[in-house]
Amino acid sequence: MTRIDKTFAALKREGRAGLVTFITAGDPDYETSLALLKGLPAAGADVIELGMPFSDPMADGPAIQASSLRALKAGQTMKKTLSLVREFRNEDQTTPIVLMGYYNPIYIYAVDRFVRDASEAGADGLIIVDLPPEEDEELRPAAVAAGLNLIRLATPTTDAKRLPAVLANTSGFVYYVSIAGITGTAAPDVTSVGAHVERIKAHTDLPIAIGFGVKSPEQVRDLAEVAEGVVVGSALVAAIAESLDADGKATGETKPKLLGLVEHLSAALRQPAEAAAV
């Protein structure tokens, strides 16, 4: 079992959904990003998605686009992103890390080298948003051989004909995109999402994590009723952005603001009644 498998098995035993948090590697700088990454598990993150900065993140909304640009401006590279994972693993051998991003930086780094280095650094899975199943032959076999979960996206437009291709060779969990569009720009409709998730569950035993547009404890709590995980990304990188100074540099508020929000969101999964009263 991979760390992802073990984490979702543990969550099932606890009787709750997991909080999946997204931050961008190197945002707003390497050292601050490392401190945030190390702080996420204690704040309540069950799984961490670490964004690989890219200059043209087409599936992402303004908040995550801006975080990528901040990271790249600060000198973040793929090598440094994998170094973040490696440093995190020096202290935490339990919390899964999923590298999320686009295929171009992986291709430039070299696929075999990337898969080897990501696995050796301690990454557990990959979400490559612009790599459809029909075009993953360069990456998928190498990732599977290295023990990395390849996690695919299902969306509101993934129909019955398309779903088997999405689920084939998927492992770890299925990421359900709750809205049609880019990240962080609309709120998910729980009733609609629930119906789509049930349809997917009829075809797979994998856990399902719901993301895109999730910002509040109330949304986290509601979506946790229909899935095994809830992903929050744009709200977290927006919190980082709000804490920066006029020059885009980290301040004394950056770490507490980000981790405080994670604690607040996590409480919706661990203490639903208490969170509802906040």
- Catalytic positions: 49, 60
Amino acid at 55: S
Look up residue 13 and give its amino acid.
R
Give burial (CB, 10 Å; 0-12/13-18/19+) of 108: exposed
- The sign of the dihedral angle between the CA atoms of 82, 75, 91, 9 is negative
Report the alpha-carbon distance of residue 93 to residue 4 in Å, rounded: 12
| 3-state class (DSSP) for residue 184 | coil
Residue pair 186/177 in contact (Cβ under 8 Å)? The answer is: no
Q: Which residue has the tokens 């999923």?
A: 98
Query: What is the separation of C-alpha 257 from the centre of its chain, rounded to a whole number of angstroms?
Result: 19
- 83 contacts: CB under 8 Å, gap ≥ 6: 121
